[in-house]
Chain A
Amino acid sequence: MTDTTLPRWTRDQMAARVAQDIADGSVVNLGIGLPTLIANHLPEGREVILQSENGIIGMGPAPAAGEEDFDLTNAGKQPVTLLPGGSYFHHADSFAMMRGGHLDICVLGAFQVSAHGDLANWHTGAEGAIPAVGGAMDLAIGAKRTFVMMEHLTKAGESKLVESCTYPLTGLACVSRVYTDLAVIDVGPRGAVVVDMAEGLGFDQLQAVTAIPLAR
Chain B
Amino acid sequence: MIDKIVESAAAAVADVRDGATVMIGGFGTAGLPDELIAALLDQGARDLVVVNNNAGNGDTGLAALLGAGRVRKIICSFPRQVDSWHFDRLYREGKIELELVPQGNLAERIRAAGAGIGAFFTPTGYGTILAEGKETREIGGRMQVLEYAIHADVALIKAERGDRWGNLTYRKTVRNFGPIMAMAATCTIATVHEVVELGALDPEAVVTQGLFVQRVVPIVRTATRGAGFKAA
Binding site for B on A (CB under 8 A): 52-56, 68-73, 76-79, 82, 88-92, 94-95, 98-99, 128, 130-138, 141-142, 168-172
Contacts and interface: CB of A to CB of B under 8 A. Distances in A.
Contact of A138 (B28, B103, B110): B103
Contacts of A69: 172, 224
Given A77-B228, A88-B170, A130-B79, A70 B100 contact: no
A36 to B, nearest CB: 11
A71 B92 contact: no
Nearest to B207: A90
B111 interface: yes
Interface residues of B, number: 55
Nearest to A72: B172
Contacts of A68: 226
B38 interface: no
B63 to A, nearest CB: 14
A77 B100 contact: no
Interface string B199-232: 0000000010000000000000001111111000
Contact of A95 (B88, B98, B108, B224): B108
Contacts of B91: 130
A91 B52 CA distance: 12
B180 to A, nearest CB: 5
Given A72-B172, A128-B92, A168-B128, A135 B104 contact: yes
B191 to A, nearest CB: 13
Nearest to A89: B175
Contacts, number: 151
Given A72-B172, A91-B180, A132 B107 contact: no
A72 B27 CA distance: 11
Contacts of A95: 103-104, 107-108
A135 B102 contact: yes
Interface string B150-177: 0000000000000000000011111111
Contacts of A136: 102
B108 A90 contact: no
A90 B104 contact: no
B127 A172 contact: yes
A88 B180 contact: no
B177 A91 contact: yes
Given A55-B173, A77-B229, A90-B179, A99 B104 contact: yes
B30 interface: yes
A132 B80 contact: yes
A95 B109 CA distance: 12
B79 A90 contact: no
B124 A137 contact: yes
Top 8 A-B residue pairs of the complex, sorted by shortest distance between their CB atoms? A95-B104, A138-B104, A77-B228, A70-B224, A91-B107, A77-B28, A132-B80, A92-B111
A81 B101 CA distance: 28
Given A92-B180, A138-B104, A73 B128 contact: no
Contacts of B79: 130-132
B1 interface: no
Given A55-B173, A131-B100, A133-B130, A70 B30 contact: yes
Interface in B46-88: 53, 77-81, 87-88
A135 B172 contact: no
Given A73-B27, A77-B227, A88 B175 contact: yes
